[in-house]
Structure 1
């Protein structure tokens, strides 16, 4: 077995092992929803800005 094949096998074994792990975290109640809401607002603002630029004739 050459080094390349050995490396590929090690990577495959590593991938199998990673699939067996899980993580559990605790966050303050409502914090994830607050973050997702802020991201949605930011995304909407970005779309508004792109639309304004398009209205001005700016090509992106």
Structure 2
């Protein structure tokens, strides 16, 4: 569902004002980086599914 390099657009904005998060790592936990301020955070896949509004797939990723 989520791949490294994908951009996740969230329902609620981060305190910096950005809605966009880049996926840095997937697995048992998903590491996201805020596109606005650069803050990184770890979330469970369930949390990411709840907060996600839209996924923008990385066009350069090899499947």
TM-score w.r.t. length of structure 1: 0.16
* Greater strand share, structure number: 2
> Higher relative CO (CA 8 A, sep ≥ 6), structure 1 or 2?
2
Question: Which one has the bigger helix percentage?
Answer: 1
